Amino acid sequence: MSKPYVLGIDIGGTNTVFGIVNARGHIVASDSIKTKKHTNFDDYVAELHESVERLLEANDAKDKIQGIGIGAPNGNYYTGEILNAPNLPWGPRVQLAEKVSRAFGGIPVAVTNDANAAALGEMTYGAARGMKDFIMITLGTGVGSGIVINGQIVYGHDGFAGELGHVIVKRSNGRMCGCGRSGCLEAYCSATGVARTAREFLELRTEPSTLRNLNIDTITSKDVYDAAMGGDKLAKEIFNFTGTILGEALADFVAFSSPQAIILFGGLAKSGDLLLKPIQEALDKNVLNIFKGKAKLLLSELKESDAAVLGASALGWEAKYRADMASQIPMSVDTPEVKE
């Protein structure tokens, strides 16, 4: 009997990572290509297809792929398109699902954004197994989120729901955000937000800090982390500032959907208590009374390199299921016969 597999694809600004995943959520094999090598989207899909075929052949998985799931920035679950993704080179509207499916001989494809894919991965294989209500927050270059209510990812009426990174947390004099507005959570609590805070603190304040030995223009969140771990007071304050803003925002998110847990994912989430302590404190201090102590603050249980592919692969099974369902519905059932 041939084992069924799905393909999970994670399209990032730099790399596109793909993996063959079995029914138990084990990544059998994976590989990657450079996302921006081709500015023509058809060329990109052709290279992706070629690379995947090579991987399938090497792993005796040819003709065993049941579905393909793709996580991509601004990926739309309903239309299968990528719309206006600032870090991708293929123009404002890309027909991702349709073109990938065609390249792979009609295998069903489902698309969502990267944070929703991470939430699916966590729900299927990680810290949110068995949970029906949780919020995934991804802390990377930006702040992304996937909201799960009653076991379902919330897509909204247009497929773009769950942009909690762009909830405005500072109404006046807020920092400019990549979305064109100002004061968004992302401008403060992403890795780049932490670096911006470092620059602000170093310019506005006078106390000594090992961060002052670095070039202020190129400081990263990792530099701040290293300094804080080395006992630097100012660096620790930067994490306090970041965690407090995030915790306050999470208290509001809890009021929205009463999740069992908020799961943090991404590079910054690995900062440990430096970040988690102020988040937890601000969450406890600001959450509505009826929710006090209820929503757990958890870290992702998936290896960062695997999570995106696993999440996308979970969507691959969904694509297969969707296609199976669609093929079972007799076309004429709802169509009354029209007589001229």
* Residues of the shown chain interacting with Zn ion in the complex, contacts defined by CB under 5 A: 166, 177, 179, 184
Q: Tell me the HSE value of 216 on the side-chain side, using a 13 A CA sphere.
A: 10
Q: Which amino acid is at 227?
A: A
CB 260 within 8 A of CB 133: yes
Q: Is the distance from CB of 239 to CB of 278 less than 8 angstroms? A: yes
Helix locations, 68-149, DSSP H = 96-103, 114-125
**82 by DSSP, 3-state: which?**
strand
CB of 171 to Zn ion, least distance (A): 13
With both helix axes pointing from N to C terminus, report the angle between 221-229 and 233-257 in degrees, rounded to the nearest 10. Answer: 120
- Nearest distance, CB of residue 181 and Zn ion, angstroms: 5
Closest separation between CB of residue 147 and Zn ion, Å? 17
Shortest distance in whole angstroms from residue 330 CB to Zn ion: 46
Residue pair 52/7 in contact (Cβ under 8 Å)? The answer is yes
Pairing mode of beta strands 134-139, 152-153: unpaired
- Name which of 177 and 202 has its Cβ closer to Zn ion: 177
Q: How many whole angstroms separate alpha carbon 66 and alpha carbon 21?
A: 10
Please name the amino acid found at residue 233: K
CB 61 within 8 A of CB 144: no
H-type alpha helices, the chain: 41-58, 96-103, 114-125, 186-189, 191-204, 221-229, 233-257, 273-286, 304-328
Q: Which is nearer to Zn ion, 70 or 177 (CB)?
A: 177
Q: How far is the CB of 140 from Zn ion (least distance, A)?
A: 14
* Closest of 131, 18, 1 to residue 72, by C-alpha: 18
Q: How far is the CB of 184 from Zn ion (least distance, A)?
A: 3
- Strand partners for 5: 22, 65
Q: Which is nearer to Zn ion, 144 or 311 (CB)?
A: 144
For Zn ion, the closer of residues 112 and 190 by Cβ is 190
Closest-CA residue to 260 (of 54, 74, 122): 122
Q: How does strand 134-139 pair with strand 143-149? A: antiparallel
User: To the nearest whole angstrom, how small is the minimum distance from the Cβ of residue 291 to Zn ion?
Assistant: 26
* Nearest approach, Cβ of residue 23 and Zn ion (Å): 38
Angle at 160 between CA 46 and CA 181, to 5 degrees: 105
| Pairing of β 261-265 and β 134-139 | parallel
Instruction: Rank residues 197 and 313 by Cβ distance to Zn ion and give the closer one.
Output: 197
Residue closer to Zn ion (CB basis): 99 or 196: 196
Q: Answer whether 250's CB lies under 8 Å from 261's CB.
A: no
80 vs 183, which CB is nearer to Zn ion? 183
Cβ distance to Zn ion smaller for residue 110 or 187: 187
CA angle 51/86/147 to nearest 5° reads 85
**Minimum CB–partner distance for residue 86 and Zn ion (Å):** 11
Q: By C-beta, is 163 or 237 nearer to Zn ion? A: 163
